[in-house]
Chains A and B, each alone.
Chain A
Amino acid sequence: MNKTKYVKDYSIEELMIIAAARELKDGENVLVGIGLPIMAAMLAKRTHAPNIKIIFESGIIDSNPTYVPLSIGDPDSVTGCKSIFDFFEVFALLLQPGHIDVGILGGAQVDKYGNLNSTVIGDYEKPKVRLPGSGGACAIASLAKRTIIIMPHEKRRFPEKVDFITSPGYLNGMNSREESGIVRGGPIAVITNLCVLRFDEKTKEMYLDTYHPGVSIKDIKANTGWDLKISPNVKETEPPTEKEIEVLREIRETRI
């Protein structure tokens, strides 16, 4: 058996994209946004998961973009895709009945139970910062079979409770997600520039699963707004392999 060759020289952003790509399984329907999420999906498709279907909320189904698009409705992502749904159908026919396996989301804030805020910082009526809002995120967080969250790890972005729940995670933990009426899904991982976090099966509270090479647990705790629990099996995040880095760098060169 070939021993996997790891790379030492990589950026944290590259590691984040690679960690997200590894969460995607071959053959899955993946609903992605622009930025890191689309690069993760493109990487997975060109490495371990050639049969994933890349889907954009603009209605593009099974897309093969030739470059990393700036918007979720880029004409290049349309050309050569397999089908186009209208804007309601994406949510009503794909997400609502459960045809989307994975959604990849970001936000301005995420809390202890994986609730995401992309609406306002401060009070909704008198916002300190008005953010773009939900877009497709609330429906993706509510109706995909699972979601992956990618976020920069800073204390103000990781409060114990978000200022506004745009997209529900596990709400107040335990069974509160199901009790609210949500029929499936929930976040399974939060990938940051410092670590990978996951959620306790019972309490649904976020915990530290792996720390990125060179990052201390102390740093991670210092950048989290609550007393973060640590997995008893906590270990280092698997570094990028030669293959992953090679393909990812090819993809990143096509950014427009």
Chain B
Amino acid sequence: MSKVMSMKEAIKRFIKNGMTIYISGFTHLIGYAAAHEIIRREVKDLTICRPTPELLVDEMVAAGCVKKTVFSWAGNPGVGSLRSIRRAVEKGIPHKIEVEEYDHFSFAARVYAGAMGIPFMPIRNLFGSDLSKYNKKIKFIECPYTRQKICVVPALNPDVAIIHVQRADEEGNAQVWGITGLTKHIAFASSKVIITCEEIVESEIIKRDPNRTLIPGFKVDAVVEEPFAAHPSYAQGYYYRDNDYYRMYDEISKDEKKLEEFLEEWIYSVENRQEYIKKLGVEKLLKLLVKPYYSYPVNFGRIGR
């Protein structure tokens, strides 16, 4: 059964005010196109979960979509701060946002617990750190077997996960290579799953390489074909990370007014991702393209001689 729809339709149908949503991608395959569509739709009061909010949550905070950010590292990788998030936390500009903060290990543990349908995950971490003083969801209990102290964090079960992948078929069987982040587990932790992909491929391509399928189609509610959806992050084998963009954003976001103009130019007055790509321009796209570097096929074998 085909679950293919446009980004506009998917966001309109599944993302509502006040929801808890997870936008997937760790340095790789970050769902920028979906975030921009959410901003265009002016969705409000979202709780956004991402270990790294990255520029997309920073933009969503500036656009007024965010009530709360659940995170473990809120920086601009290799560059510095996420300035809208900082302004919101330090000065309440444009408005106060709530923060629920973890470290990467405990954040990832929450997603695993959510995926497995268990209430919490024990980890040997966060002893002696001040994080648990300000986040009461981080608790320490006595292990019922060893009597040792152990840290526990609760399952995370978002309403919707938006997951960008390299390729999927029309049913949503989704394949990822390179950095996988929490792709598989966030799909299983979330009530609804939107897959966005660089390309929709025939099911035959998926079936020839099943080890690469991180999410089976039955767990997916919508499939959106959206090339370059991860820009300025990257898609392994498709296009590179736009490091200059991360530096440029840092400069622009220092000034609220400039950032407003930037959001107007690159999000609000752009109809969709196709238009965004056109606006980026050929020169930029050529700079981000990658040279092919293929893996060798493996032999799955078939019965018979």
Residues of A within 8 A of B134 (CB): 124-125
Structural contact, B72 and A135, CB atoms closer than 8 A: yes
User: With A and B bound together, what is the CA distance between A138 and B127 in angstroms?
Assistant: 9
A34–B108 CB distance below 8 A = no
B234 within 8 A of A: yes
Please name all residues of chain B whose beta carbon is closer than 8 Å to the beta carbon of A171 when the two chains form the complex: 128
Mark out the residues of chain B between 212 and 270 whose CB falls within 8 Å of any chain A CB in the assembled complex. 234, 236, 240-241, 243, 246
Q: B62-80 interface mask toward A, CB cutoff 8 Å, 1 = contact, 0 = none?
A: 0000000001111101110
Contacts A75-B241, A166-B131, A256-B243 known; A88 to B112 CB distance under 8 Å?
yes
User: Which A183-215 residues have C-beta < 8 A from chain B?
Assistant: 183
List the interface of chain B (C-beta within 8 A of A).
Answer: 26-28, 51-52, 71-75, 77-79, 81-82, 85-86, 89-90, 101-105, 108-109, 111-112, 123-131, 133-134, 140, 148-151, 178-185, 234, 236, 240-241, 243, 246, 290, 293
Task: Please list 25 pairs of residues, one from A and one from B, whose beta carbons are closer than 8 Å in the complex, sorted by A's number.
Answer: A34-B78, A35-B78, A70-B79, A70-B246, A71-B78, A75-B241, A86-B181, A91-B105, A91-B125, A115-B128, A124-B134, A127-B89, A131-B75, A132-B82, A133-B71, A134-B104, A137-B103, A138-B126, A168-B128, A171-B128, A177-B128, A180-B127, A181-B149, A181-B151, A256-B243
Residue of B26, B78, B180 most packed against chain A (CB within 10 A): B78
A64-100 CB contact bits vs B (8 Å, 1 = yes)? 0000011111110011000010111001100110000
Given contacts A134-B129, A168-B127, whether A87 and B181 have CB atoms under 8 Å apart is: yes
Q: Would B28 and A139 count as touching, CB distance under 8 A?
A: no
CA distance A102 to B127 in the complex (A): 19
**Stretch from A15-23, A52-60, A224-232, A234-242 contacting the other chain:** A52-60
Q: Are A136 and B103 in contact (CB under 8 A)?
A: yes
Shortest C-beta distance, B124 to chain A (Å), equals 6
- The smallest beta-carbon distance between A153 and chain B, in angstroms, is 21
Instruction: In the A-B complex, list the 6 residue pairs whose CB atoms are closest, starting with the nearest.
Output: A73-B27, A132-B75, A135-B73, A168-B128, A70-B78, A134-B103
Name the one of B52, B130, B179, B184 contacting A165, with C-beta atoms under 8 angstroms: B130
Contact B111 A88 (CB under 8 A): yes
A119 within 8 A of B: yes
Q: Nearest B residue to A96 by beta-carbon distance?
A: B124
A88 close to B109 (CB less than 8 A): yes
Q: Which of B82, B85, B182 contacts A86 (CB 8 A)?
A: B182
A residues near B151, Cβ cutoff 8 Å: 181
Identify the closest chain B residue to A172 (Cβ).
B128
Specify which chain B residues have a CB less than 8 angstroms from the CB of A177 in the assembled complex. Answer: 128
Min CB–CB distance B22 → chain A (angstroms): 13
Q: Is the CB of A75 within 8 A of B234?
A: yes
Q: Which residues of B contact A124 (CB under 8 A)?
A: 130, 133-134
Contacts of A180 in B (CB 8 A): 127-128
Q: Which residues of A contact B52 (CB under 8 A)?
A: 135
8 additional A-B residue pairs with CB within 8 Å, beyond A88-B108, A181-B127: A58-B26, A73-B28, A92-B123, A133-B73, A134-B103, A135-B73, A168-B128, A181-B140
- The answer to whether A147 has its CB under 8 Å from any CB of chain B is no
Q: A73-B179, A177-B128 are in contact. Are A132 and B74 (CB under 8 A)?
A: yes
Contact partners of B246 in chain A: CB under 8 A: 70
- Chain B nearest Cβ from A184, distance in angstroms: 10
A7 adjacent to chain B (CB < 8 Å): no
Name A's interface SS: loop
Check if A143 is an interface residue, CB within 8 A of chain B: yes
Q: Which residues of A contact B77 (CB under 8 A)?
A: 34, 70-73
- Say yes or no: A182-B127 contact (C-beta < 8 A), given A71-B78, A130-B89, A133-B74: yes
B28 touches A135 (CB 8 A): no
Task: Decide: B179 and A164 in contact? CB cutoff 8 A.
Answer: no
Give bound CA distance, A133 to B108, whole Å.
Answer: 15
Q: Complex formed: what's the CA distance from A84 to B211 in Å?
A: 14
Tell yes or no: A29 within 8 A of B by CB: no
Which residue of chain B has its CB nearest to the CB of A89? Answer: B108
Task: State the Cβ distance, A236 to closest chain B Cβ, in Å.
Answer: 33
| Complex Cα gap A35–B109 (Å) | 27
A129 within 8 Å of B (CB atoms): yes
Residue contact A91 to B104, C-beta cutoff 8 Å:
yes
Interfacial residues of chain A within 231-256, with CB under 8 A of chain B in the complex? 256
| CA distance in complex: A130, B179 (Å) | 28
> In whole Å, how far is A252's beta carbon from the nearest beta carbon of chain B?
15
A53: min CB distance to chain B, Å: 17
In the assembled complex, A109 has its CB within 8 A of some CB on chain B:
no
Bound form: Cα–Cα A124–B82 in Å: 17
| Residues of the B chain whose Cβ atoms lie less than 8 Å from the Cβ of A78 | 28, 178-179, 236
Bound Cα distance A74, B207 (Å): 29
Distance in angstroms from A33 CB to nearest chain B CB is 10
Residues in chain A near residue B180, CB distance under 8 A: 59, 84, 86-87
Does the CB pair A143–B241 fall under 8 Å?
Answer: no
A128, A130, A143, A166: which contacts B130 (Cβ < 8 A)?
A166
Partner of A135, one of B90, B104, B150, B240: B104
In the complex the two chains form, what is the Cα distance from A198 to B148 in whole Å?
30
Query: Shortest distance in angstroms between B165's beta carbon and chain A's nearest beta carbon?
Result: 14
